[in-house]
Amino acid sequence: MSGKFTVAVAGATGAVGREMLKILEERRFPASTVKALASSRSAGTKLPFGDAELTVAELREDSFDGVDLALFSAGGGTSEKFAPHAVRSGCVVVDNSSAWRMDDRCPLVVPEVNAHALAGHRGIIADPNCSTIQMVLVLHPLRGIAPIRRVVVSSYQAVSGTGQKAVDELERQVRRMFNMEEPEVAVYPHRIAFNCLPHIDVFMENGYTKEEMKMTNETVKIMEDPTIRVTATTVRVPVFYAHSEALNVEFERPVSVAEARDALEKAEGVVVLDDPARNLYPMPKDAAGKDEVFVGRIRRDESCDTALNMWVVGDNIRKGAALNAVQIAECLVRDGLVRVADRRAFLR
Ligand code: 25A
Ligand code: L14
């Protein structure tokens, strides 16, 4: 490793944490040391890091002494509890949980859309929800053509969003069913193999799930536009990696397919894959493992002359979580923002 920053990954043994380590290495993040942290269950576990190995240590309040930058992906409760202690140690936190996203003190960042929001950070920066990230990556270039009034989104989300335990469960259920055995149901309330669940995260009082409300609220914060209305139906499908989304985007005036395609082709982090005559459109099996978000099926909404329909697919573990977090960290380094001005900001 050649760099000047001491970096920690909290939740390093999870689906996202492992990918964070891989991406730090792949992109040659300027780290002098990388610390892998997880729960006491995993202390002592070895994780690959480049040609070397990291030994996992238990995440504790004092884990961040001497650490410059920490990437968290160990669940909301863990972030709530430990991120303030990291900041107190002078460590800047990029947090992948939902714990801090809507906190006014925390920028919520997709670098291609609002890297500028990092400037005033106070120690904790939030990494948005996976479904929100791939959607705003597409909405941002489109709003350059005309203001967006409303988005209707339906998602088709991979099990890896729930962590490694859900990936293992889908695999086990499929194996058992092919052997004519009763599948075991543990992670979700129902079987996910050969099924769809209109249920991601918990139900709220308004009848929506928390995942659906994240898409509504996080989009407004990232795009800094309270006039954009988003309504979502989020669905779990038996796919391992990469989320898909059907978007209906309504603009203030009619926007042509050609204009939209042109804006999306120029957009950073987005690839247009749209040639129905050749059966070319984005699919999760192809987006898995890729850094870009793919968009296709761009077409007029024939029921509304100011709206377009499209299909957006992205790897939920990479751009939806680990890659976006590392990109935020790269922006912090580039802009000289790996510092904490007020170590007590989150302890009050
Ligand atoms: O608490 P919540 O908010 O309900 O979140 C629940 C889970 O959802 C995932 C994440 O699971 C989280 O724990 N999750 C949350 N937000 C997510 C997002 N945006 C998200 N997933 C994707 N995108 P996970 O399995 O991905 O990661 C969990 C990590 O958190 C560590 N952890 C949990 N409680 C902790 C803690 N760390 C510190 N303190 C705590 N109190 C957890 O560590 C893991 O790193 P662990 O020691 O519990 O490790 C669990 C064991 O699981 C096995 N394993 C996990 N991933 C893999 C794997 N084995 C092989 N390959 C893998 N990829 C290992 O045996 C590991 O030791
Ligand atoms: O980042 O798919 O808020 O179960 C938590 C639930 C990510 C997806 C978040 C899932 C999500 C996740």
Is 127 within a domain?
Answer: no
Q: Does residue 1 carry a pLDDT above 90?
A: no
At residue 40, the pLDDT reads 98
Mean pLDDT along residues 113-125: 97
Q: How many domains, in total, are found in the chain?
A: 2
Is 235 within a domain?
Answer: yes
Residue pair 311/281 in contact by the 8 Å Cβ criterion: yes
Is 303 within a domain?
Answer: yes
Output the domain CATH number for residue 89.
3.40.50.720
Domain shared by 45 and 25, yes or no: yes
From 13, 39, 41, 315, the mutation candidate for ligand 1 (largest count of ligand atoms within 8 A of CB) is 13
Percentage with pLDDT > 70 across the chain: 99
The catalytic site residues sit at 130, 243
From 211, 243, 315, the mutation candidate for ligand 2 (largest count of ligand atoms within 8 A of CB) is 211
Using CA positions, which residue lies closest to atom 36 of ligand 1? Answer: 39
pLDDT in tens, 60-96: 999 999 999 999 999 999 999 999 999 999 999 999 9
Is 114 within a domain?
Answer: no
Query: Among residues 104, 107, 115, 96, which one has the least CA distance to residue 15?
Result: 96
One-letter amino acid for residue 249 of the chain: V
Q: How far is the CA of 212 from the centre of ligand 2 (A)?
A: 11
User: Does ligand 2 have an atom closer than 6 angstroms to the CB of 200?
Assistant: yes
Instruction: Give 43's pLDDT tier (boundaries 50, 70, 90).
Output: very high
Using CA positions, which residue lies closest to atom 55 of ligand 1? Answer: 14
Mean pLDDT along residues 194-212: 98
Instruction: Give 348's pLDDT tier (boundaries 50, 70, 90).
Output: low
Which bound ligand lies closest to the C-alpha atom of 41? Answer: 1
At residue 33, the pLDDT reads 96
Q: Which domain holds residue 92?
A: 5-99+321-346
Residue pair 300/257 in contact by the 8 Å Cβ criterion: yes
pLDDT in tens, 285-309: 999 999 999 999 999 999 999 999 9
Which bound ligand lies closest to the C-alpha atom of 163? Answer: 1
pLDDT in tens, 171-198: 999 999 999 999 999 999 999 999 999 9
Domain shared by 198 and 253, yes or no: yes
Q: Does residue 2 carry a pLDDT above 80?
A: no
At residue 215, the pLDDT reads 98
Q: Tell me the longest C-alpha to C-alpha distance in the chain.
A: 60
Domain shared by 192 and 310, yes or no: yes
Instruction: Give 347's pLDDT tier (boundaries 50, 70, 90).
Output: confident
Pairing of strands 31-38, 57-58: parallel
Domain shared by 227 and 306, yes or no: yes
Q: Does residue 3 carry a pLDDT above 90?
A: no
Which bound ligand lies closest to the C-alpha atom of 128? Answer: 2
User: Does ligand 2 have an atom closer than 6 angstroms to the CB of 131?
Assistant: no
User: Does ligand 2 have an atom closer than 6 angstroms to the CB of 87?
Assistant: no
Backbone angles phi and psi of 244, in degrees to 5: -115, 150
Domain shared by 187 and 168, yes or no: yes
Domain shared by 139 and 260, yes or no: yes
At residue 221, the pLDDT reads 98
pLDDT in tens, 6-16: 999 999 999 99
Is 112 within a domain?
Answer: no
Output the domain CATH number for residue 300.
3.30.360.10
Which bound ligand lies closest to the C-alpha atom of 210? Answer: 2
Q: How far is the CA of 289 from the centre of ligand 2 (A)?
A: 18
Helix, strand, coil percentages (3-state) for the chain, rounded to 5, are 35, 25, 40
Q: How far is the CA of 271 from the centre of ligand 1 (A)?
A: 30
User: Does ligand 2 have an atom closer than 6 angstroms to the CB of 155?
Assistant: no
Residue pair 127/95 in contact by the 8 Å Cβ criterion: yes
User: Does ligand 1 have an atom closer than 6 angstroms to the CB of 76?
Assistant: yes
pLDDT in tens, 231-288: 999 999 999 999 999 999 999 999 999 999 999 999 999 999 999 999 999 999 999 9
Domain shared by 196 and 295, yes or no: yes
**Which residue, chain included where needed, has tokens 């107190």?**
88
3-state SS assignment for residue 157: strand
Alpha-carbon distance values, 214 to 34, 75, 98, 246 (Å): 31, 15, 8, 17
3-state SS assignment for residue 105: coil
Is 107 within a domain?
Answer: no
User: Does ligand 1 have an atom closer than 6 angstroms to the CB of 183?
Assistant: no
Domain shared by 144 and 231, yes or no: yes
Percentage with pLDDT > 90 across the chain: 98
Domain shared by 281 and 168, yes or no: yes
- Which residues, in sequence order, are bridge partners of residue 72? 10, 95
* pTM of structure: 0.94
Average model confidence (pLDDT) across the chain: 97
User: Does ligand 2 have an atom closer than 6 angstroms to the CB of 173?
Assistant: no
Q: How far is the CA of 23 from the centre of ligand 1 (A)?
A: 17
User: Does ligand 2 have an atom closer than 6 angstroms to the CB of 167?
Assistant: no
